[in-house]
Structure 1
Amino acid sequence: MLLNLNKDKTIISYNEYPYLVYGRVSTEKDEQVSSLENQIDICHNWIEKNNFEWNEKAIVLDNGISGTVLLDRAAMQLVLEKARKREIKMVIFKSIHRLARDMKDALEIKETLLAHGVRLVTIEEGYDSLYEGKNDMKFEMFSMFAAQYPKTLSVSISGVFAAKVRRGEHIGPVPFGYNKEDKKLVINEDEAPTIRLIFKWYNHDGFGFKTITRLLNEELAKGNVAKPRKKDKWQVTTVQRIIRNPTYTGIFIHNRYTKIKVNGRKKQIENPREKWTIYENHHPAIISKEEWEKANSKEVTNKKTKITPWNEFRGLLRCSECDSNMVIVQSYKKNKDGERIEWRYLKCSEYRRAGKFGCVNHTPIRYEDFREFVLKKIINKGKKTKINFENNLYQQKQKEISTLEKQKKELEQMNNGLIDLYLKDKLISKAEFQMKRKEYEQEIKNISDRIFLLRQEEEVKIDIESIQEAFEQLKKHDEDLHHAISTLIDHIVVHPDGKLDFHYKFEF
């Protein structure tokens, strides 16, 4: 049957012409003007108007995901996967805005669908690949407009924000030490003294971040300082942010940060200083500019103890008591000859931030000794473990989807058994055989789709070659082995008494 010449207006069944209806909203504001219900209703109307059988199970949705980030859209990845397997013949979108808001992504999606014989329909633009043929200009023009929309919206929003800032209004989170009244910042008289105390300790008493954090928590226990807003106790990072924040001098910096797309994902970066717009005397100051500049000058900063020395195990060590990262802290002393002797040791980051108010103090472990012990442990473990990489890769994937795979296998066996029931045993009729077989095949497809989506969200990819290379790199004792260690180690739990629990990536 020529589907585009369906002159008799008969209903084309879903089994005869399988399709998918794709919907997406990225934010609550997006939901207000282009709800999923609205998108589905428009697609539903188009399908029935064009004499296709409506199927609720054909709907796939990405809810709360930006159209500018293709890699995060599991439902869209499912659409492309089913197209590659030639399991669908058509995909319907309310508009190209729902398909993608990045022109490169939109063209890539279109090429993938058309290359596998899938008809692409965007209703609002009136684009239908079945009729457009090789004429790509229409699709490209609408894709360009869709890609320009978020950029235009961003510029418009930035302009609105800039106007608000010029009027003295505050945009963004309200910093500690301030309240927001009538859209403007006013000093919080309960919190401001704590800000001034932090700068006094830092600039005039010469205390470092750790000492200030400890003193704040001691004074907090006595009720002499304000409690931080997001935590019950003061932490080193909170103190650092306060000291580095020029907001406390009455300055507001607009357009300091922006978001860019890197490898299909959004990332926030700091703009060049030339793009910043600095508003002096935007709101009441808690400290003077001279006080802030002194705290952030190299002369003062260089006198402070370095907070985080180079750590090859960064992100891999966890405290057994609070599950925070273990970090490397360095200290030093001078002998009688004036020679500076330095050493580095492990410490719980929560304890470093808040002292005894945060966690417990671990038995000091020198970094150099720890590094040597861990490297030997990993190498010996690799020697003792018979690593069948291909089998491990298979087992890892099976663990993640074992239940679904089992269901799928059972359905396939039942589906195959239908042949015996029909041909050999004659227990079912041809009509019953065909109906039951379609039912099983549909269930198998549904499970396959669920497995695919699960893999999109949770798949752990193991690069066999990188594991082998990591072991080779450990033997060479290179200066920075972070990449090799993180390839082989998932994490190491460090107990207060120095005991270590290893969790490897290469054994399952």
Structure 2
Amino acid sequence: MSEDKQLHTYKDYPYLIYTRVSTDKDEQKDSLSNQIDICRYWLEQHDYEWDERSILKDEGKSGTLFLERTALQLILKKARNRDIKMVVFKSIHRLARDLKDALEVKEVLLGHNVRVVTIEEGYDSEYEGKNDMKFEMFSMFAAQYPKTLSVSISAAMSAKVRRGDHIGKVPYGYDRVENKLVIKKDEAKVIKKIFSWYVNDNIGMKTIAVKLNEQMEQGLVPPPKHGSYWQLTTINSIIKNRTFCGDFIYNRFSKIKVDGRKKRIENPKSKWVIIEEHHPGIVSKEVYQKANSKDVINRKRKITPWNEFRGLLQCAHCGSNMVILESWKKKKDGSKSHWKYLKCSKRRRSGLCVNHKPMTYEDLREVILQELKIESDKISLNFNEALLHSNQGKIKQLEKQQSELTGKQKRLLDIYLDGIIDKQKFDDKKRELDMKIQRTEEQIFLLHSKDEHKYNVEHIKDALEQLNDTEQDLYHVFRTLIDKGVVYEDGCIDLGFSFKKNIKI
């Protein structure tokens, strides 16, 4: 580089390099190291001083998933805060494979005076001006690629299924040998037992799960999968699964994009591809149809009671969520008294775990409301300072964690240079540490953000004001104010608030 050229340092001209791979099987041309090398070469050719801190990575993240790509979300956050001046991408394919997402990212960056460079397409917003045609055209090609690929893959998979091959996860009761399903004898015995109990002995699904768990602990029954246990939902899915009578259903589900995330939905039955006698059945079709007839399978249906604490309360003994169950008792005059109470979801599904001391939902709600009001009154005068102090504590903890990870990186390099580990182990461990450091940096960044802190303060204050209106549904209020509650067998609860340390009630 000639001496008369001015070298832009990272400090003078803060830039970021964005890299992404969908899986660890991406081709070499799209590997993270290849993307970084290409971006580094471009930067050095344009008189920018290289800085490792400029690299942000999304590993194992599909280009069609917008909100799940944390590194890209951090770039947008930095752009809105005017912390960066330029973002460099190897190609628009790495930026996004969805036209709407690609255009949205570009609009946010350009709207905050951030220069956008995609090297393969030769797009540079500094020189393109208001001419967006090049960017839009290449974004459209990038968006079309996964759709074309999906159609080709679907056609190939459909042909394989029609030939008798099996695709997807191997179901319980079977092994896959040379792409064909073959019956696994010990697990097939369990499947037959489930159908026999349900159809012939008229035993309910939960009771079946309890019986199987008891036999599993005695070593008589293999578990549904490694390290798990039998539960009501597992029994239900087995009874409804046509795989066990020899049929295979293809194209039953598909994935759609909702608010930047992929969601699996069930296709209309008209789109299902049903191949009968695709593989050996474990039970006969007669038994399967009898198990799924309305007079048997719809014996009793219960609607889950509304629970304002869903996802917030956990069992102290197994970590499962606490759920609300409803019960009733018939009075002498013929009327019924109803009540709702807490129960460990693992206990409900499988009979495992402890049976918690009965606690009615109404009593629990009243106690938690009172505690919330008492604690919020104590900190109302210095609420902002209290929350800020809490954030600072989290930042110190994360910075300590970051320092420890950086130390591990240095020690890892020393071990590799001393020949104690080979290149493959070094690369794998370095990649793991890089990801942990990046996540830590992202969390520190968000906690430092004044806008984020201001939003949290306003959001929590608004929730506290709604506590007086106890007649309304307070799910979102509880969600905002409570971090987590841990419920013990004797009924005691450790409750952690978002604005205060844990207390016991």
Normalising by the residue count of structure 2, what TM-score does the alignment of the two structures yield? 0.79
Are 1:487 and 2:483 an aligned pair? no
**CA drift at 1:198:** 0.9
Q: 2:356 aligns with which of 359, 362, 367?
A: 362
**CA drift at 1:32:** 4.0
Aligned residue in 2 for 1:36? 32
Are 1:210 and 2:215 an aligned pair? no
Superposition pairs of residues 123-272 of structure 1, within 5 angstroms: 123-272=119-268
Aligned residue in 2 for 1:96? 92
- Distance in 2, matches of 1:88 and 1:495, equals 49
- Distance in 1, matches of 2:282 and 2:327, equals 33
> Structure 2 counterpart of 1:182, which letter?
E
Superposition pairs of residues 29-68 of structure 1, within 5 angstroms: 29-30=25-26, 32-68=28-64
**CA drift at 1:145:** 0.6
> Structure 2 counterpart of 1:452, which letter?
F
| SS of equivalent residue, structure 2 residue 161 | helix
**CA drift at 1:465:** 5.0
Alpha carbons of structure 1 residues 126 and 308: separation in structure 2 relative to 1, 3 Å: same
> Structure 2 counterpart of 1:322, which letter?
C
Aligned residue in 1 for 2:415? none
Normalising by the residue count of structure 1, what TM-score does the alignment of the two structures yield? 0.79
Alpha carbons of structure 1 residues 169 and 81: separation in structure 2 relative to 1, 3 Å: same
Superposition pairs of residues 352-391 of structure 1, within 5 angstroms: 352-355=348-351, 358-382=352-376, 386=380, 388-391=382-385
Asked whether the equivalents of residues 28 and 34 of structure 2 are also in contact (C-alpha less than 8 Å), the reply is: no
Are 1:113 and 2:109 an aligned pair? yes
Alpha carbons of structure 1 residues 223 and 117: separation in structure 2 relative to 1, 3 Å: closer
- The worse-fitting range, judged by mean Cα deviation, of 285-294 and 146-155 is 285-294
Alpha carbons of structure 1 residues 307 and 496: separation in structure 2 relative to 1, 3 Å: farther
In our comparison, the structure showing a higher alpha carbon Rg is 1
Q: 1:14 aligns with which of 6, 9, 26?
A: 9
Are 1:452 and 2:442 an aligned pair? no
| SS of equivalent residue, structure 1 residue 67 | coil
> Which 5+ residue runs of structure 2 have no aligned equivalent?
401-439
> Structure 1 counterpart of 2:487, which letter?
V
Aligned residue in 2 for 1:295? 291
Aligned residue in 2 for 1:497? 490
> Which 5+ residue runs of structure 1 have no aligned equivalent?
1-5, 407-446
| SS of equivalent residue, structure 1 residue 360 | coil
> Structure 2 counterpart of 1:67, which letter?
G
Are 1:27 and 2:20 an aligned pair? no
Give the number of aligned pairs: 457
Asked whether the equivalents of residues 67 and 101 of structure 1 are also in contact (C-alpha less than 8 Å), the reply is: yes
**CA drift at 1:20:** 2.7
> Structure 2 counterpart of 1:126, which letter?
G
Asked whether the equivalents of residues 22 and 60 of structure 1 are also in contact (C-alpha less than 8 Å), the reply is: yes
Alpha carbons of structure 1 residues 404 and 365: separation in structure 2 relative to 1, 3 Å: closer
> Structure 1 counterpart of 2:32, which letter?
L
Alpha carbons of structure 1 residues 175 and 119: separation in structure 2 relative to 1, 3 Å: same
- Distance in 2, matches of 1:258 and 1:139, equals 30
What RMSD in Å do the two structures reach over aligned CA positions?
3.3
Alpha carbons of structure 1 residues 231 and 337: separation in structure 2 relative to 1, 3 Å: farther
Are 1:318 and 2:314 an aligned pair? yes
**CA drift at 1:342:** 5.1
Percent identical across equivalent pairs? 57
**CA drift at 1:106:** 1.4
- The worse-fitting range, judged by mean Cα deviation, of 379-388 and 498-507 is 379-388
Asked whether the equivalents of residues 208 and 304 of structure 1 are also in contact (C-alpha less than 8 Å), the reply is: no
Aligned residue in 1 for 2:407? none
- Offset from partner CA, 1:154-174 (integer Å, 9 cap, x none): 222222221221111111111
| SS of equivalent residue, structure 1 residue 191 | helix
**CA drift at 1:49:** 3.5
Aligned residue in 1 for 2:403? none
**CA drift at 1:34:** 0.7
**CA drift at 1:117:** 3.4
- Distance in 1, matches of 2:303 and 2:204, equals 9
> Structure 2 counterpart of 1:64, which letter?
G
- Offset from partner CA, 1:43-67 (integer Å, 9 cap, x none): 2232333444434333322222222
- Distance in 2, matches of 1:319 and 1:161, equals 43
Aligned residue in 1 for 2:418? none
Alpha carbons of structure 1 residues 338 and 225: separation in structure 2 relative to 1, 3 Å: farther
Alpha carbons of structure 1 residues 243 and 368: separation in structure 2 relative to 1, 3 Å: farther
Aligned residue in 1 for 2:416? none
- Distance in 1, matches of 2:447 and 2:168, equals 35
Alpha carbons of structure 1 residues 231 and 21: separation in structure 2 relative to 1, 3 Å: closer
